[in-house]
Every structure is written in structure tokens, then in C-alpha cells.
Structure 1
């Protein structure tokens, strides 16, 4: 059985515009409008899963997935850095930020390491792979990165080398624990088009 999981990154929020670690802020007006304009551009799926953050829930709703009840993984827990800008944290604790970006096992912020996130997302992706039909998941960019790292067999150190723009679709397809990845396309474009 071939599994298909389309992951959609949330539309833009104030935290993303300000290069701030997510603090639960909602979408901004531009992000919400862009998501609404992409509604209807996705093929039907047997299920839609959504990360519990406000920006993922609001993106899913704007895309027309109001009846979603299943939950997808949360993003990376950045502990004490939540709500702060990377620039502020880097100025205050440059060694901690350097360690965090270089070592996937490090969690100097008191939250979760990149390695732990990758492990958590792998378990979830393996569970979704057992479901029949197509799955759409509106998830945090870090979840997409973690899934991509594991799907292509890259080391966790590659996590920071994957850019996930707002409101993009990334398709994972595979069988028997082996995944292929079709990297991002902005929503609203024809689903048959690849870039």
C-alpha cells in the first residue's frame, strides 16, 4: 500500500515576520487572506490532521478544514526561548545558540532537542503510513523539516538546511517504511505542477 501525506506549512504570522520563536500568535491579516485564497486548491483527502498551534489551526480553518478533529505533532519546544527573537537570544547567549544549531542533541533552551523532535515525528509518520488513503496535515515548519530529514535518510544536522516557506505543500509518498519527498509548492497552484 502506498501512503500519501501532504504536509502544509502554516500561513505567515507576526512571530514569523519578526524572526521570533513561535509564542502562540495567530496569523496576521495577510497570512489569513492568502490561506483563504488557497482554499479549494487541494484534492480531497481521507483525513486532515492539524498541529495544535493557533497558526496551524487558523490556516486549516482558512483552507476549509473546519471539521478537523485529529491532531498532528506540535513543533519544536524551544523552552525559555519561546516568544524571543533569534537575534536577542544570540546576543544574550551566542554559545548556546551556536551549540543548538550545530548539535542536534543539544537543548540549551530547556526544551526539546532536534533529535528528539525527529524521533517524535518519525513515530507519527510511521503511524500515518498505516492509514489508508491520502492525508493532509497542517503542521509547523519544524515538523516538515524533521519528516524530510528522516524520509531521505539525512543526518539530523541537515535539519537547519531545509527551508519551509509559509503556506507551502510538501508531499511524502511511500511504502514499507521508505519515503519519497516532493519539496514545496505554494498553495493555490495546480497540484499536478511540480517545481
Structure 2
């Protein structure tokens, strides 16, 4: 994850992420690097705080992290689309070392990614439904809304809006659980 991009996020963006809770939300760049996220997103697919900052990339995690993968019931279609969108976006960034480095890393570490990359599919980003299996609250269904914060730099706010009442109840419960866990952890270390 590019630390310079994280450092340049306005504090208002971080505050907005907190205010969007209990809806899971993140800021990512066009390369799928996770630049910031709220508490609920941090616990939606895995414990994102336990993932090394250099590995906080949605595409990397979707291909290499067992916990992240287990939370994706539609994983095969998701990674196919993700690879196609990455290919389409990369056309504008061919000379950028960070893009080349991620592509090389993905090809080196994931045979599945290599196979999908060799299909030469391209796709554009669209808002769509996503489902996740969370170990604490079960299956959750969302409509993903992506809002470009700075199109020139590729920073995008992604918000997972509950698609049904059960999901809304589930993310509210997950938010409570994660907030209580954070509070308890702070109390024992403070």
C-alpha cells in the first residue's frame, strides 16, 4: 500500500468513514490498494488490522488470503471481474512502477491470477451487489456504491449499503461486536 497516498487523505475522509458506520466503507485506489477503512469494513471479510499494510490490497487478498477468500461466496466470478477491471485500468498506468510491481507480484504468487490475466478480458467498474460470509453474523448482501474522491489520482470511496433488513441487522450487530472488542482491547492495554 502506498504510504504517501494514505498520508495525503484529508482527515475529513477518515471522519466520513467513521460516520458511515454501521455501513462498511473503505477508500481504495484504482490498483485496489486499501488506503483507509472503517471499523465494520475492517472486520467484514477478515481482521484487516492483522494484515500487513503492504498486503492490504483487495485483489491480493482475494487471490492469496484464505480468510478473505472464505468470506466470498461468489469468489470465482468476483476475481474474474476484478482481474478484468485491473487490466482495463492498467492501460492508463503502464509506465508506473507500482502497477508493474503489483502485476509481477500477482503473477508470481497466484497461478489462478496468471490464468485469468492470460484471458485478456477487460471490464469497467460498476456498482453491483456483493455478498460476504462473516463468521460472526453470517451471510450479508450489499449494494456496492463507488464514489470517486479524486479521479485524477484514482481514490475512490466504496460503501457497502445493506441490500435487505437482515443484512442491516447483521452489520449493526457486527459494528457493536467490533466496537466492544476495540473498547475492551484499549482498556486492557491502556
State TM-score, norm by structure 2: 0.30
Report the structure, 1 or 2, having the larger helix content.
Answer: 2
State TM-score, norm by structure 1: 0.30
Higher relative contact order (CA 8 A, sep 6+): 1
